[in-house]
Amino acid sequence: MSTTTGPDSPDALLGPADIRELAAALGVRPTKQKGQNFVIDANTVRRIVRTAEVRPDDTVVEVGPGLGSLTLALLEAADRVTAVEIDDILAAALPATIAARMPERKDRFALVHSDAMLVRELPGPAPTALVANLPYNVAVPVLLHMLDRFPTIERTLVMVQAEVADRLAARPGNKVYGVPSVKANWYAEVKRAGSIGRNVFWPAPNVDSGLVSLVRRAEPVATTASKREVFAVVDAAFAQRRKTLRAALASWAGSPAAAEEALVAAGISPQARGEALTVEEFARIAENKPEQPQQKESTA
């Protein structure tokens, strides 16, 4: 494996041969179970960093760094990079890869060996950006967890399965608009930011990939309801997405009549469906949830 004397060397990033050499040395074979597809194209990772608008003063958190393709490109552009890796072998090897290929930046890299869904804190300065090639099978929960847990993350760019990218960025009225769309929009302004071909991965996935940009809202959604209360309405509305909200929210509200009462109070037609509503409208419904009647204690 070639090494470099600094981040400006063209050899600093990993190419296809480097990736395969590293994997062979570690005895690593990418697995579908872990959703592993390693990026083997240096131009692609640099494009991701540019699209993410990573700045020299950013502290970037990366989830699922794998062998380090994107990590190295992030280190070229950011002040600091913290990578969260669940795989034992990959987590153990990554610091050595950084030290070998970017020795001048190794002190600006930190590794957290953990399941991203369990991460509650990160070392060093608070993260300002999240950039990641997220495993397809856990992309949405990991993204929402990181945005919720680390409110200092201002800008996010994730590479996910194209279908997931479409769902995250969908607007009300779109046929793929659903729970991921609304919940992502609770935190951020969301948009598609490009497509990624299959041939830049090893192994090549059998689905296309897409980039999604999320810029955190300057002001939170204006509501007296909590995130948990709003998300409960969202989950209920899309659990039976073909039903009208009067029917879909019946269990949440206590009855169809109570659901209608909440909807009317929120200024929303009981005949509407969840796919037509913005996150602000879901919040209004949550604010107007009818009081549940108190059950009388038994005197027996």
Is 254 part of any known ligand binding site?
no
Q: Is 288 annotated as a binding residue?
A: no
pLDDT at residue 202, rounded to an integer: 87
**199 is annotated as contributing to ligand binding:** no
pLDDT at position 14 is 95
pLDDT of 299 reads 47
What is the per-residue pLDDT across 59-113, written as a single tens digit (0 to 9) for each? Answer: 999 999 999 999 999 999 999 999 999 999 999 999 999 999 999 999 999 999 9
Secondary structure (H, E, C), 241-264: CCCCHHHHCHHHHCCHHHHHHHHH
> For the chain, which residues make up each domain, given as ranges?
16-216, 227-288
166 assigned to a ligand binding site: no
Q: Is 107 annotated as a binding residue?
A: no
For 291, residues 6+ apart whose C-beta sits below 8 A from its C-beta are none
pLDDT along the chain (300 residues), means of 10: 43 92 90 73 96 98 96 98 96 97 97 98 98 91 98 98 97 97 98 96 90 97 97 97 96 98 98 98 97 56
Put the strands of the sheet holding 80-85 in their side by side order. Answer: 109-113, 80-85, 59-63, 129-133, 155-161, 209-216, 188-196
Query: What is the pLDDT, as a whole number, of residue 37?
Result: 83
Q: Is 235 annotated as a binding residue?
A: no
The CATH homologous superfamily for domain 227-288 is rRNA adenine dimethylase, C-terminal domain (1.10.8.100)
Q: Is the pTM of this model over 0.75?
A: yes
3.40.228.10, 3.40.50.300, 3.40.50.150, 3.40.50.2300: which CATH number matches 16-216? 3.40.50.150
